[in-house]
Structure 1
């Protein structure tokens, strides 16, 4: 299947096609519809994980680094960036590499 260009806004979980962009995106990728479905699923998982971390945030004595909800959020975010890196343009891959977010992830 042919790949199309998409623009991604990680913070809002948006996957935009060229006709929908208004300059509010961080990354450009080339993906098949199946890959976009996988990415959309990761964004949905991230939204769920974000809700879990918000509910946990009201517990003041629990440290961030000892918190399974935050670990799940972080792991999911790394998976999103790994997929964006795999599908990204050279500029996208370079930018993600400069963020050092993929350090420690298996290829």
Structure 2
């Protein structure tokens, strides 16, 4: 049995996922199953944890950004977030993400 997709509104900056277009600001409209939303929420939660590690690391000046594995983890996860939004999003969402050139070339 195929799981029914529902419409969700996503704000990547805040990690917000909503089913209401009017309850808050949003950047992307997607169609997703409950399981896909759980996966997206897990990615947002993972990046939230990494952001705190990066905040603490930012106060240690001798670790360069390009040598910091937490920054690499954040970048990788945010790419996965945009990949999911690209896959599940409407045409406007896909076009915007493609214009950002954030996805690997094989997406």
**Same fold by TM (over 0.5)?**
yes
In structure 1, what is the equivalent of residue 13 of structure 2? 11
In structure 2, what is the equivalent of residue 60 of structure 1? 61
CA positional deviation for 1:21: 2.9
Contact 1:7 1:21 in 2 (8 A): no
In structure 2, what is the equivalent of residue 70 of structure 1? 71
Size of the aligned set, in residue pairs, is: 105
Aligned-partner SS, 2:38 = helix
**Runs in 1 of length 4+ with deviation above 4 angstroms?**
none
Task: Flag structure 1 segments of 5+ consecutive residues without an equivalent.
Answer: none
In structure 1, what is the equivalent of residue 42 of structure 2? 41
- The normalised TM-score by structure 1 is 0.91
Task: Flag structure 2 segments of 5+ consecutive residues without an equivalent.
Answer: none
Aligned-partner SS, 2:4 = coil
CA positional deviation for 1:22: 3.5
Aligned-partner SS, 2:41 = helix
Q: What root-mean-square deviation, in Å, do the aligned CA atoms of Structure 1 and Structure 2 show?
A: 1.4
